[in-house]
């Protein structure tokens, strides 16, 4: 198990290196940081612009390999570089990363639990009304674009507030101005801001996992060991939870890494729609302004999170099925 995880970790680290290097090279070729200095009145002298871009390691006149080498040398010192405005990428991402992870992890965890439970229940109640209802809801969510779903929930939240005559949920920002502290009132306010954006991720996770879990559960429920457990008089709920669900969840665990990568992409759009001040919206704004240092930091962070999640998936697979020997 230990040797397998080390090999797996080495493989994933190589993927992180390739992903970050490819992203840097593509961004350096496609983006134009010089455009941030164009159109100013009065226009800055070209030599001043070049000097500023050299300082920021964004000068397109400098060979890409030299810029990349300088960026890597800074990365070794835990320095992600400077933005086109001269700000520290480390400081900005350090402030925003926990905001993003709070939204992403809560949405992913709740979506996974809800989807697995709904899929298992749907399989047990196959062809009943509840099964058809869960299937319909899942397919509707899967067919709706993330942006459309986020905008719909944002508008629904406003309508709900108007209907009850109170601000129960918020559809912009992380907290209300003046309530930055982690007081009881501040925590309640943050939860109200968290409900709608996290609900988007919860619904998408629910839709993905419920479909996989239902199909996997149906295969297991038709197995010989389930019929044997029933024939010896074990309660149906115990057969489902102890025997069927534990075996049916194994295929779902194997696709958890893939689903999580989809959630990473959805998180970018969710943060933008709900004006959530996370690292994903920060990277998207940087991309639109041709500022690729924050984009590079975001890709490195998300690739690292993806590596950690995939290692956890491998460990959970071995825990869920002790018969599996990984080595």
When pLDDT is cut at 50, 70 and 90, the band that residue 204 belongs to is very high
Is the peptide bond preceding residue 42 cis, with omega within 30 degrees of 0?
yes
What's the CATH architecture for 92-288? Orthogonal Bundle (1.10)
Q: Is the pLDDT of residue 48 over 80?
A: yes
**Over the stretch 257-296, which tens digit does the pLDDT of each residue have?**
778 877 888 888 899 999 988 898 888 888 888 888 888 8
The reported pLDDT for the residue numbered 43 is 79
Q: Is the pLDDT of residue 326 over 60?
A: no
Q: What is the pTM of this model?
A: 0.83
Q: Is the pLDDT of residue 206 over 90?
A: yes
Alpha carbon distance 39, 242 (integer Å): 67
Phi, psi of 74 (to 5 degrees): -70, -40
- Poorest-pLDDT segment among 5-9, 183-187, 306-310: 5-9
| C-alpha torsion sign, points 259, 261, 267, 268 | negative
Domains in the chain: boundaries: 2-76, 92-288
């Amino acid at each position: 198990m230990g040797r397998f995880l080390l090999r797996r970790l080495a493989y994933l680290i190589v993927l992180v290196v390739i992903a970050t290097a490819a992203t840097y090279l593509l961004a350096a070729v496609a983006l134009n940081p010089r455009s941030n200095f164009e159109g100013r009145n009065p226009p800055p002298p070209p030599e001043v612009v070049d000097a500023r871009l050299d300082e920021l390691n964004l000068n397109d006149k400098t060979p890409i390999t030299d810029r990349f080498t300088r960026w890597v040398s800074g990365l070794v010192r835990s320095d992600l570089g400077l933005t086109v405005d001269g700000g520290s990428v480390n400081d900005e991402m350090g402030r925003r990363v926990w905001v993003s992870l709070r939204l992403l992890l809560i949405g992913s965890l709740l979506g996974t639990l809800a989807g697995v439970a709904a899929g298992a229940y749907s399989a047990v109640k196959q062809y009943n009304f509840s099964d058809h209802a869960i299937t319909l809801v899942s397919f509707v969510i899967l067919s709706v674009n993330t942006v459309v779903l986020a905008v719909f929930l944002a508008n629904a939240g406003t309508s709900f507030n108007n209907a009850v005559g109170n601000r129960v949920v918020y559809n912009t920002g992380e907290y209300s101005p003046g309530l930055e502290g982690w007081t009881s009132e501040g925590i309640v306010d943050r939860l109200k801001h968290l409900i709608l954006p996290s609900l988007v991720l919860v619904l998408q996770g629910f839709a993905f996992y419920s479909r996989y879990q239902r199909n996997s559960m149906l295969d297991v429920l038709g197995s010989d060991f389930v019929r044997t457990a029933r024939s010896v008089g074990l309660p149906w709920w115990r057969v489902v939870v102890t025997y069927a669900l534990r075996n049916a969840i194994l295929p779902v665990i194997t696709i958890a890494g893939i689903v999580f990568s989809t959630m990473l992409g959805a998180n970018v759009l969710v943060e933008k729609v709900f004006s959530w001040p996370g690292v994903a919206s920060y990277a998207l704004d940087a991309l639109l302004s041709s500022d690729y240092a924050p984009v590079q930091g975001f890709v490195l962070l998300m690739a690292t999170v993806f590596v950690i999640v995939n290692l956890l998936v491998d460990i959970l697979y071995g825990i869920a099925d002790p018969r599996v020997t990984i080595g």
